[in-house]
Amino acid sequence: MFTPDLRVAVCLLSLLSWAIPGQAAQSTPNLGQAVSEEQLQGLDLIVMPNGNGLPEGSGSAVQGQVLYEQQCESCHGAQGEGSPGVPALVGGSTTDTPPLMTVGSYWPYATTVYDYIRRAMPPTAPKSLSDDEVYQVVAYVLQLNGLITETFELNRNTLPAVVMPNRNGFIDRSQVQQVRP
Ligand code: HEC
């Protein structure tokens, strides 16, 4: 059992170990490396809901189908129906209870789909798709959801104009009066 004296000794020892030369001299927490300006540029992939930040380029669903079959279908299914542990990209409606949340039934902006796929998909090689390829595969996902035709060309002007079914389904909490019990 610990006696009070022993507890004091343990405290002192742990304080001493903090002051080991070398560690004590460190001025930063040593949690990683500083990010260079160049790396920061590469991370700046944000596309805003209104389309700000969308890159040049274009693509249609006809082109996107090829890419989808090569890089997406194995996980998301031939018709975007999903697979165990992988969300469906197609189906559902804004009135389902409980809701099946897919790109078509849930996402309020088509621009966000671009942003998400460009930065995160496929998960084995995020950011590997070119800007054109992302337009193509977004077009295919939108077409599978019946939101555009297979030859409709998506680009930085036409993509923000695609109105998603759940466009008005979200509540702006800043506009809601908070009611507290
Ligand atoms: C290795 C399996 C895999 C591959 C390949 C893959 N995905 Fe995904 N995808 C996932 C998983 C898992 C998630 C869910 C990630 C999460 O919620 O954190 C996801 C999420 C998504 C979402 C968001 C769905 C939602 O409503 O939350 C989209 C859109 C998407 N993927 C598109 C694509 C596209 C387009 C491709 C091909 C370029 C692709 N994915 C390739 C596994 C995959």
Task: List all residues 6 or more positions away from 166 whose beta carbon is below 8 Å from its beta carbon.
Answer: 94, 105, 106, 107, 108
Q: Closest residue (by CA) to atom 10 of ligand 1?
A: 86
Query: Which amino acids bring their CB within 6 angstroms of ligand 1?
Result: 71-72, 74-76, 85-87, 89, 102-103, 113, 116-117, 121-124, 137, 141
Q: Phi and psi at residue 10, in whole multiples of 5°?
A: -65, -40
Q: What pLDDT is attached to residue 44?
A: 64
Q: What pLDDT is attached to residue 34?
A: 83
How far apart are alpha carbons 4 and 154 in whole angstroms?
73
Q: Which residues of the chain have pLDDT under 50?
A: 1-2, 11-13, 16-17
Q: What pLDDT is attached to residue 5?
A: 66
How far, in Å, from the CA of 29 to the mean position of ligand 1?
35
Q: What pLDDT is attached to residue 19?
A: 52
How far, in Å, from the CA of 86 to the mean position of ligand 1?
7
Q: What pLDDT is attached to residue 1?
A: 47
Q: What pLDDT is attached to residue 4?
A: 56
Task: List all residues 6 or more positions away from 144 whose beta carbon is below 8 Å from its beta carbon.
Answer: 61, 79, 80, 89, 90, 104
How far apart are alpha carbons 78 and 86 in whole angstroms?
13
**pLDDT, mean over the chain:** 87
Mutate to test the pocket of ligand 1, among 86, 112, 113, 130 (most ligand atoms within 8 A of CB): 86
How far apart are alpha carbons 15 and 7 in whole angstroms?
12
How far apart are alpha carbons 29 and 42 in whole angstroms?
25
Q: What is the pLDDT of residues 1-44, one digit of tens each?
A: 445 565 655 544 455 445 555 555 667 788 888 888 877 776 66
How far apart are alpha carbons 132 and 130 in whole angstroms?
5
How far apart are alpha carbons 132 and 59 in whole angstroms?
6
Are 107 and 113 contacting, i.e. CB atoms less than 8 angstroms apart? yes
Q: What pLDDT is attached to residue 65?
A: 98
Return the ∠ at Cα 69 (arms to 57 and 65), rounded to 5°.
45
Q: What pLDDT is attached to residue 114?
A: 98
